[in-house]
Structure 1
Amino acid sequence: MSVKETRRIIEELIKEASGRNFVESVDLVINLKNVDMKNPNNRIKEEVILPEGLGDDVKIAVFAKGDLAERAKKMGVTVLSEGDIDKLGKSKSEAKKIAREYDFFLAEPQFMALIGRKLGQTLGPRGKMPSPAISDIEGIIERLKKSVRLNTKDNLTFHAKIGKTSVEPEKLAKNLEAVVDKVISRLNDGKANIRSIYLKTTMGKAKRVAI
């Protein structure tokens, strides 16, 4: 993958998006080949730390109380209580709404079983079951703010956001490389299992990137 060529494509995407009246996301589209997605072991479900971040706020919600809840609030994330878990468990529409709204969920270990019972059917299939929130809540949140989730499910084609058109092309290129490297590391035949890679903005046309 040529860094120079990738940057040129990103510059074209940003230029084409400049006439639109909102800042668009830049998405990576990866098409796999010769991978048996019926085998769960071949599916990719990873969090990738982007070296340059996403260029906007990653939405994080934390199920917590007491000191951990206060510390999470200071980090600027949404805090949900035990009562919220119960309310969401009684309303599928609200549970689905919150699952769409947030990129990552964290939870104090004492809430994990309750969340599994009340919200597992909503969060589980979306790959958004909470990770345990332990002592270093600040460090965990900082890491997630720079992360993107990869989840192929049983599909050969999947998407990953690598930033926004307001981010410098060089930084977007570094983020792209981080995601592609992670995907290659998870494939049995590495790069040979990638059919094609495309980049696109929210409203723009996809442009192919050489592997």
Structure 2
Amino acid sequence: MKQEILEAVKKAKEQTKPRNFTQSIDVVINIKDLDVNKPENRFDEEVSLPNGRGKDVKIAFIADGELAVQAENAGADLIITKKELEDLGKDRKEAKKLANRHNFFVAQADMMPLVGRFLGPVLGPRKKMPKPVPASAKPEPILERLRSTVKVRIKDQPVIQTLVGTQEMDEELIAGNIEAVLSILDRNLEKGRSQIKSMYIKTTMGPVVRVI
């Protein structure tokens, strides 16, 4: 299947018109023989793409004290302190903006009850509740991993759509990322990737190209 993936990625890149921004490349996978009404058939996982996302990822760190300082030094896009967390709880509009602007949230474990109280109503529905980390955690490896992470989920339809790179990335690198996404199917589906009904590659604004 690797050859088919490579050819489809190449075709998707060739067929997209030039835009004044770097377009993302997504893989769309339709799954057969899967009853999504059964909770055990739904999943929501994070995949670390071996060749990166090719795009900037915005990460907010909710922390105080030493962890906040280290997270800032490590390049987190936003630091939210305990006081700022409480302020966001009173300003739902700002909280929503912040939730939409950032891809991932990480929180100091002992601040999670406050996060749930003040940001939970905004982050929960967006599937962006923070990953708790101890106050002694080292932010660098956490940020590095999240910068190459995408979500792979099946919810109310037997379809997966996720980012696997950008149009500027080499086809081989994108194919490697798609392979990482397919390995999630092997783990979560009874018959693994043999349950793929069809698979497509598409750029943000370009046409859909069928792989299988």
- Tell me, in whole angstroms, the C-alpha distance in 2 between the residues paired with 1:94 and 1:31: 36
- Tell me, in whole angstroms, the C-alpha distance in 2 between the residues paired with 1:93 and 1:40: 32
Aligned match of 2:141:
139
Task: Give 1:106 deviation, angstroms.
Answer: 0.3
1:162 aligns with 2:161: no
- Tell me, in whole angstroms, the C-alpha distance in 2 between the residues paired with 1:91 and 1:184: 43
The one-letter code sitting in structure 2 at the alignment partner of 1:23 is: T
SS at match of 1:200: strand
Aligned match of 1:114:
114
5+ long unaligned stretches in structure 1:
none
Deviation track 1:100-133 (CA, whole Å, cap 9, x = no partner) reads 2111110001110111122222212222110012
Mean Cα deviation higher: 19-28 or 163-172: 19-28
User: Is the contact made by 2:17 and 2:206 (CA closer than 8 Å) also made in structure 1?
Assistant: no
User: Is the contact made by 1:127 and 1:151 (CA closer than 8 Å) also made in structure 2?
Assistant: no
- Tell me, in whole angstroms, the C-alpha distance in 2 between the residues paired with 1:209 and 1:64: 44
SS at match of 1:161: strand
The equivalences for 1:1-211 within 5 A come to 1=1, 3-17=2-16, 19-77=18-76, 78-134=78-134, 135-210=137-212
- Tell me, in whole angstroms, the C-alpha distance in 2 between the residues paired with 1:170 and 1:99: 33
The one-letter code sitting in structure 1 at the alignment partner of 2:52 is: G
- Tell me, in whole angstroms, the C-alpha distance in 1 between the residues paired with 2:125 and 2:100: 12
Task: Give 1:18 deviation, angstroms.
Answer: 5.6
Task: Give 1:34 deviation, angstroms.
Answer: 2.2
The one-letter code sitting in structure 1 at the alignment partner of 2:99 is: A
SS at match of 1:21: coil
- Tell me, in whole angstroms, the C-alpha distance in 1 between the residues paired with 2:188 and 2:45: 9
User: Is the contact made by 1:44 and 1:183 (CA closer than 8 Å) also made in structure 2?
Assistant: no
Mean Cα deviation higher: 13-22 or 197-206: 13-22
Task: Give 1:163 deviation, angstroms.
Answer: 0.9
The 1:160/1:117 distance shift into structure 2, 3 A limit, reads same
TM-score (norm 1): 0.92
TM-score (norm 2): 0.91
- Tell me, in whole angstroms, the C-alpha distance in 2 between the residues paired with 1:208 and 1:140: 35
5+ long unaligned stretches in structure 2:
none
- Tell me, in whole angstroms, the C-alpha distance in 1 between the residues paired with 2:85 and 2:199: 39
The one-letter code sitting in structure 1 at the alignment partner of 2:58 is: K
- RMSD across aligned C-alpha pairs, in angstroms? 1.6
